[in-house]
C-alpha cells in the first residue's frame, strides 16, 4: 500500500530543486568570460606566449606582431645535434612558403649557447630565416623548454596548433604542417 507524501515533504523537495536551479544559474561562467584557448600557455590549443627578442643583426621581433601569419617557433642551440640536423629542412620549407605567409623563427637558447657559435652555425648552413637570441632565457621559460629542439607551430590567430619535442623534424612533416595551416589563411 502506497502512502501519499505529506505536503511539507513535497514543499521541502520543491524548495531544494528551486535553490539548486538558482545556484546553477548564478554560478555559471558568463559566455564573455570563456577564453577559447586565449590564455598564453605552451600547449596545443592555447595562445602562444608572446616574446620580444633580438636577431643576430640587432633587429627586434615580437611574436604577437606576426599574427595573421603561420609561424614556426623553433627553440634550439648550436651544440645540439638534432637541432643542427633539422635546420636544412626548416630552411627549405621557409624558402618554399615564406611568400605565402609562413615565418620560421629560430630561437637560440643563448643562455646555453654563445652568439659567436650561433653566428658561425648560421653562416655555415646559410640560414636565411630570422635567428633570435634568447639571451636571458625569457622564451625558454615562457615555453617551459625541457629539451632541445622544441618546436611550436602557431596558427594565424596566435594559437598553437602543434608542439614537437625533440627532433630532428623531417622536411615532409614540416611541409605538411605548414600546408595544413596555410589553408586557414587562404
Q: How far apart are CA 8 and CA 66, in angstroms?
A: 65
- Predicted TM-score (pTM) of the model is 0.78
Domain that holds residue 90: 52-185
> What is the grid cell recorded at 13?
523537495
Is residue 158 situated within a structural domain?
yes
For residue 113, how many C-alpha atoms fall within 13 Å in the half-sphere facing its CB?
A: 25
Is residue 11 situated within a structural domain?
no
Q: How far apart are CA 180 and CA 174, in angstroms?
A: 10
pLDDT of residue 111: 87
Mean pLDDT of 159-171: 93
Is residue 47 situated within a structural domain?
no
**Per-residue model confidence as pLDDT tens digits over 34-78:** 455 556 668 888 899 999 999 998 999 999 999 999 999 999 999
pLDDT of residue 34: 44
Is residue 19 situated within a structural domain?
no
pLDDT of residue 23: 78
pLDDT of residue 33: 44
**Per-residue model confidence as pLDDT tens digits over 100-151:** 999 999 999 988 899 899 999 999 999 999 999 999 999 999 998 888 999 9
What is the domain-level CATH number for residue 61? 3.40.30.10
Please report which confidence band the pLDDT of residue 11 belongs to, taking 50, 70 and 90 as the band edges: confident
Is residue 148 situated within a structural domain?
yes
By DSSP bridging, strand 150-154 and strand 70-76 are: antiparallel
Q: Where are the beta strands (DSSP E) in the chain?
A: 52-55, 60-62, 70-76, 102-108, 131-133, 150-154, 160-165
Is residue 138 situated within a structural domain?
yes
Is residue 18 situated within a structural domain?
no
Is residue 82 situated within a structural domain?
yes
Does 32 have pLDDT greater than 50? no
pLDDT of residue 30: 55
Amino acid at each position: 500500500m502506497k502512502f501519499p507524501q505529506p505536503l511539507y515533504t513535497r514543499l521541502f523537495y520543491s524548495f531544494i530543486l528551486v535553490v539548486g536551479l538558482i545556484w546553477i544559474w548564478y554560478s555559471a561562467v558568463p559566455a564573455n568570460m570563456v577564453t577559447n584557448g586565449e590564455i598564453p600557455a605552451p600547449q596545443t590549443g592555447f595562445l602562444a606566449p608572446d616574446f620580444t627578442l633580438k636577431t643576430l643583426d640587432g633587429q627586434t621581433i615580437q611574436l604577437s606582431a606576426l599574427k595573421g601569419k603561420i609561424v614556426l617557433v623553433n627553440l634550439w642551440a648550436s651544440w645540439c645535434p638534432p637541432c643542427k640536423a633539422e635546420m636544412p629542412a626548416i630552411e627549405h620549407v621557409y624558402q618554399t612558403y615564406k611568400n605565402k605567409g609562413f615565418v620560421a623563427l629560430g630561437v637560440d637558447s643563448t643562455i646555453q649557447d654563445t652568439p659567436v657559435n650561433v653566428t658561425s652555425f648560421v653562416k655555415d648552413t646559410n640560414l636565411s630565416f630570422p635567428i633570435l637570441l634568447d639571451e636571458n632565457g625569457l622564451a625558454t621559460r615562457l615555453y617551459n623548454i625541457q629539451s632541445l629542439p622544441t618546436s611550436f607551430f602557431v596558427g594565424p590567430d596566435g594559437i598553437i596548433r602543434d608542439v614537437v619535442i625533440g627532433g630532428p623534424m623531417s622536411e615532409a612533416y614540416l611541409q605538411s604542417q605548414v600546408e595544413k595551416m596555410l589553408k586557414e589563411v587562404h
